[in-house]
Amino acid sequence: MKARMSEILAPEFEKRRKANFSESNKPNTMLQWVWDDSTEKDRTDEHQSMIQILATVPSTYTVAFAATQALFDLAARPEYIPIIREEFESVCDSCEEKRLTKEAFGKMTKLDSFLKESQRITPLALVSFERKTLENIDLADGTHIPKGSHIAAPSYHIGLDESHFSSPETFDGLRFHNLQQAEFERTGKPSTKHQYVTVNESSLHFGYGLQACPGRWFAAIVLKLLLGLMVTEFDVKLMDKGEGRPKSEIDRFFIYPDSTKMVVLRKREDV
């Protein structure tokens, strides 16, 4: 894969070696951002290509898995389809020429809530915030973590902890929308505390702190666009209702949607 990526991107890297871009005409692309942030030693085709692979591959399967899990949740709980459909269509209608903007996606609070609830119950992995200690660490409670230890946060089990969420085993697609509304009624100010992209002690699926996933805002937009267009154009249901929502598969720390299960998409007659 690295050799093929190097072959594809080599002309772009060569262009950057020869070009003398000013700030006004410099390409505003990830390729350029990485190039600018690299030392001369790291501006080889192989190194630059590997960075692009490391950035691209994880974002591909993570968004695909999240979309599949959300689609399974939607098909298993069709009562949310008209709610999400109405919100998506309303936001689209409010945009000039129905051109969705970043701000428009921020108004889709019910769809955002549904995605976050889907992530809470079926995230990408059992753990997150994986780290390797660079030195010995002694915690306040006396726990000793030796240098070189691999540590992680139990994000999946935190999401199912009743000290963080009421009725944690129950899927409530509007859980976070309602929490946002309650926060607004209490403070009188809009809050981002319960948004899909927000990271805090009870929501660690995107990591935490300065090292939290930088692509989560883009992922949120892709997922909202995908599910929003899907429910606008189609009715969604499970292939076999009797089996219920497809169960996920766990392999080591990773949670995979069942690739053998299918949903039915039927074109809506009134669109």
- Look up residue 44 and give its two tokens: 């080889």
Which has the closest alpha carbon to 268: 31, 81, 6, 124?
A: 81
213 is in an annotated binding site: yes
* Collapsed DSSP state (helix, strand, coil) of residue 145: strand
In sequence order, the 6+-apart residues with CB closer than 8 A to the CB of 19 are none
Instruction: Quote the DSSP letter at residue 125.
Output: B
Burial of 135 (0-12, 13-18, 19+ CB in 10 A): exposed
Cβ atoms 202, 158 nearer than 8 A: yes
List Cβ neighbours of 193 (8 Å cut-off, separation of 6 or more). 179, 180, 183, 200
What would the two tokens of residue 169 be? 């085993």
Structure tokens at 102: 């970043």
From residue 37, give the alpha-carbon distance in Å to each of 93, 192, 221, 229: 41, 30, 26, 37
Specify binding-site residues.
213
Specify binding-site residues for heme.
213
